[in-house]
Amino acid sequence: MVPLQDSFWTEKNACTYVDGNDGWLYCDGEAYFKAFIEACERATSTIFILGWDTHTRTNLDPKREGSAQGDHWNLATFFRRILKNHPKLHIYLLSWRPAPLYIMEREKLQNFKFTRFCHPRLHFCTDSHHPIGGSHHEKIVIIDDQLAFVGGMDLTIRRWDTCMHAAEDPLRKDPDGQYYQPYHDAQLGMAGPAAWQLAQMFRQRWKQANGTNIPMVPPTRVKPPAPAQAIAFFEDAPIAVSLTYPSFRNSNEVKQIAQVYEDLLLSAQRYVYIETQYLTSHHMVDILCRLGQRSEGPEITLVLPERLGPWLEKRTMSHLQYEALTKVLAYDFHKRVHIVYPYDQELIPIYKYVTVHSKLMIVDDQFLTLGSANLNNRSMGLDTECNVTIDARQQPHLQRSIRKALAFLIVHYANHDASYALQELERTGSPLQVLKSLRLLSPDKHLADFKLQPMPEEKIGWLDADLLDMDQPSALEIAMDRWGRMLEIIQRHLKVPPRMMALVMTGLAGASIAASYAWMFSPLYGNQWTLNFYPQNGMPHDTRLSTLLLIPILYVIACLLLAPINLLILLTASFFPALPAFSYIVLSVIGLVSLGYVAGRCMGRFFFPQFYGRHTPEGFAALCLLRIMPIAPNTLVNVAAGAARIPYLRFMGATLAGMAPGCIMLVIFQRCIINAFLNPGWTTVLPLIVLVLLASAVFRWSSQRFSNYGS
């Protein structure tokens, strides 16, 4: 923490505020990636990368990626090349460890690719030190502790685009050759004390996630990237750094970004220009409503994407945003709020739109703030975020740079001359007047009025803001984290890694299930206390009730130590035919839920006093979603449900309904594999092929519907 030396900046809205920084604003991926390449090629000691996502096959420069060069400019190849050229350079890459819900859209075996196939001086680590429902959302690069990039762009796929945002750009495609729609974002490069502060923050985060210290590097003067890629240059600028950190374990809550947005908006006199992916934050909506009620206040221009992305987002966040915008416009008594979106006539026939992913706000030529935080509730309190703000008060040269940046941002949506927009902005002082004049000059491509109308898709009513767009961890998440932390302490004392513990318990459970199966064929196996399930050659014709109890007991023991339940289901399906296997699985799930629920109910008042008895979410459909989406180990969810005192029968019913489809598919899939192996032929191989094709189709559909590569 650097002492704050300005009355506007306090510990509530910034963690540091320092003078003497040079800054460069980059508009869109082409410009930022070129600056990133140039800066990394000049690095001598360290490159720190903190991101929501990274991808080894990210194409950093499609215009230079010729067929003769192959993958010369993908991220992994680029890292190998600069590490080879700079023998003292180390790269530290800290990426969010995604929740299981995101796994199907993330790069497979990424850890292995970065650590094994890249270079020994590339250090890769994933970070899950956050509430269960949260994420690490920052997008930061720091080079030699002296140069940094902060904004909305990760080093991942589907980020690159030019400022033209052409409707059909042949270079705008992902590594699989899939074309994606136009994509707008912004990133700020800066050299000076602020970059050094971000480097120290990265070192703390790395130690927290990895347990090791990164050595300090000797001070060196880093040559910044060529300014030709930037749309504005800020010389000798004061820069403030603001953070969002959720309350988690021993870490205190930090809501500096929410506070700095409030302070900047309430200080506005003439205009506010905002670009954001979402507007759903209750806090931000309330402030905009306060501004709208003033008799004298700033004009507000809000740039949003025309519509939101995947299927789930359309049916949830779109409705939350509709409610937020409706409220803002209802309190706009003096008609000063103008909501616009990037319109392009050429995109209409191909059913595409410009994805506005930037998180940027400009106020009165005085402040420019941008970073990773969207104007939604998650970014204000649940996810970790980082924003930087250039303070241009009483500094005319910085104010002109801000106007230049604003003029370019507005005019680039119309592909018009930036000098015209700057001239109009300096003449009128109004971003709204500039974009209105551009509509006349460029009728086919400009910022058009956002048409606010009820969403055609039905809202999924049980998915409300408290479940999807929370600004703090829920009671259920806190309960799950507490239980998980207890198990971590036990594992730490045993000096056994969590993954090794899970594998050992799964192996022991599998061996026990195999022993139970073998026992059923032994002479010791009797016929008393039996149930006839099925007649099948080569299999026992009955099953003892003692066996029905034995398998659930093995499940309970293994899952209490966080053995993956899906592996246990596959093991059960391997040793027993479909009907008995499914019966064992259902009984085991009932036993797991009951034991975990009772444990949470009994111990909740002692271990979870802050939230004992609070039962959200309690809707049946919401609980089904909780069981379908693997947000946490099965045991943690059961214990947390008991601690939160969710009604038992409702929770049990939702568990069975949510897990049944997956269990049935796993059992059928495993039986098909075994049958095809034991009795190869079309009658056994064909069902397996059909299942694989069906699973692939579901996977592809889910990836398209639920993809969050725009986060």
Cα 511 versus chain centre, distance: 38
Contact 137, 121 (CB under 8 A): no
Confidence class of residue 202 from pLDDT cuts 50, 70 and 90? very high
pLDDT given for residue 95 in this prediction: 94
Confidence class of residue 320 from pLDDT cuts 50, 70 and 90? confident
pLDDT given for residue 587 in this prediction: 85
Find the range with the poorest average confidence among 123-137, 262-276, 444-458, 492-506: 492-506
The answer on pLDDT for 333 being more than 80 is yes
DSSP secondary-structure letter at 363? E
The answer on pLDDT for 475 being more than 70 is no
Find the range with the poorest average confidence among 116-130, 267-281, 517-531, 550-564: 517-531
In whole angstroms, give the CA distance from residue 59 to residue 75. 7
Q: How far is CA 24 from CA 139, 359, 370, 487, in A?
A: 16, 16, 12, 47
**Is residue 563 helix, strand or coil?**
coil
Helix axes 431-441, 396-412, angle to 10 degrees: 30
Confidence class of residue 692 from pLDDT cuts 50, 70 and 90? confident
Residues with Cβ < 8 Å from 129, sequence gap 6 or more? 208, 209, 248
Q: Is the four-CA dihedral 227, 187, 5, 145 of positive or negative sign?
A: negative
pLDDT given for residue 169 in this prediction: 93
The answer on pLDDT for 662 being more than 70 is yes
The answer on pLDDT for 616 being more than 60 is no
Residue found under tokens 């890694």? 497
In whole angstroms, give the CA distance from residue 346 to residue 567. 50
| Predicted confidence (pLDDT) per residue in 528-550, tens digit | 434 444 444 444 444 455 556 67
Find the range with the poorest average confidence among 139-153, 459-473, 474-488, 565-579: 459-473
Residue range 451-462: average pLDDT? 58
| % of the chain at pLDDT higher than 70 | 76
| Predicted confidence (pLDDT) per residue in 345-396, tens digit | 999 998 899 999 999 999 999 999 999 999 999 999 999 999 999 999 999 9
pLDDT given for residue 507 in this prediction: 65
CA atoms within 13 A on the CB side of 374: 23
**Pairing state of beta strands 367-371 and 271-275?**
unpaired
From the list 379, 279, 355, 273, the residue with the least C-alpha distance to 322 is 279
302: β partners = 274, 339
pLDDT given for residue 653 in this prediction: 85
Peptide bond just before 609 cis, omega within 30 deg: no
The answer on pLDDT for 418 being more than 70 is yes
Average pLDDT for the chain: 82
Q: How far is CA 595 from CA 559, 590, 648, in A?
A: 11, 9, 11
Find the range with the poorest average confidence among 43-52, 130-139, 461-470: 461-470
The answer on pLDDT for 481 being more than 90 is no
pLDDT given for residue 586 in this prediction: 86
pLDDT given for residue 561 in this prediction: 61
Residue range 675-684: average pLDDT? 78
Residue, of 465 and 9, whose pLDDT is higher: 9
Structure-token pair, residue 439: 């509509």
Query: For the chain, what is the largest distance between any 2 Cα atoms, rounded to a whole number of angstroms?
Result: 97
Confidence class of residue 197 from pLDDT cuts 50, 70 and 90? very high
Residue range 283-298: average pLDDT? 94
Residue range 428-441: average pLDDT? 95
Q: How far is CA 554 from CA 520, 547, 618, in A?
A: 16, 11, 30
Residues with Cβ < 8 Å from 125, sequence gap 6 or more? 92, 93, 94, 95, 206, 209, 210
Q: How far is CA 232 from CA 24, 398, 418, 470, 504, in A?
A: 6, 10, 12, 35, 57
pLDDT given for residue 490 in this prediction: 61
Find the range with the poorest average confidence among 228-237, 346-355, 573-582, 691-700: 691-700
Contact 4, 14 (CB under 8 A): yes
| Predicted confidence (pLDDT) per residue in 140-151, tens digit | 999 999 999 999
In whole angstroms, give the CA distance from residue 38 to residue 22. 17
| % of the chain at pLDDT higher than 90 | 49
Residue range 80-88: average pLDDT? 94
Residue range 494-501: average pLDDT? 61
| Gap between the terminal Cα atoms of the chain | 29
- DSSP for 396-427? HHHHHHHHHHHHHHHHHTTT--HHHHHHHHHH
pLDDT given for residue 413 in this prediction: 96
Residue range 26-42: average pLDDT? 95
